[in-house]
Structure 1
Amino acid sequence: SRPSPFYVMDEVEAALDDVNLHRFLALIQEFRQEAQLLIVSHQKRTMEAGDSLLGVTMQPGGSSRVIVERVSAQSA
């Protein structure tokens, strides 16, 4: 069977300790070879493992603003 080409995860690593966060990030590295991942996270180490960071901020008047930042290979 073929794995899913796209995964969405919402703070799945929020309660992990350092050892298990390291394991999770290693698993993410494996998955990203064959799939795209969208991970909602507040963990700095998880964000550093990504290719891009997306942020959404609320603007005056209630509209949203999306900010995209590429993560350099040096910071990951």
Structure 2
Amino acid sequence: MAVNGNVKQNNQSKVNIFTRAFRTIKAETKRITWASKDEVKKALAAVATFCVIYMVVVGVLDYGFSNLFKLIFK
């Protein structure tokens, strides 16, 4: 009898832990200050520009080193 009572209590405490965890997560997400649409657009444009510039630089270096190795090992 005592064992059954402890098991029920243990299951209830696990449920309470999960519900408390989800409540705290919900409360924390309400405190988040989200960026405005304009800020997100500016950040996206900056990242996209950097990626394109990086791709061009790496492509030019790859092409140059490729031709250099072909010239050396010809």
**Normalized against structure 2, the TM-score is what?**
0.25
Quick check: which one's strand share is greater? 1
| Structure index of larger Rg | 2
Greater length-normalized contact order (CA 8 Å, ≥ 6 residues apart): 1
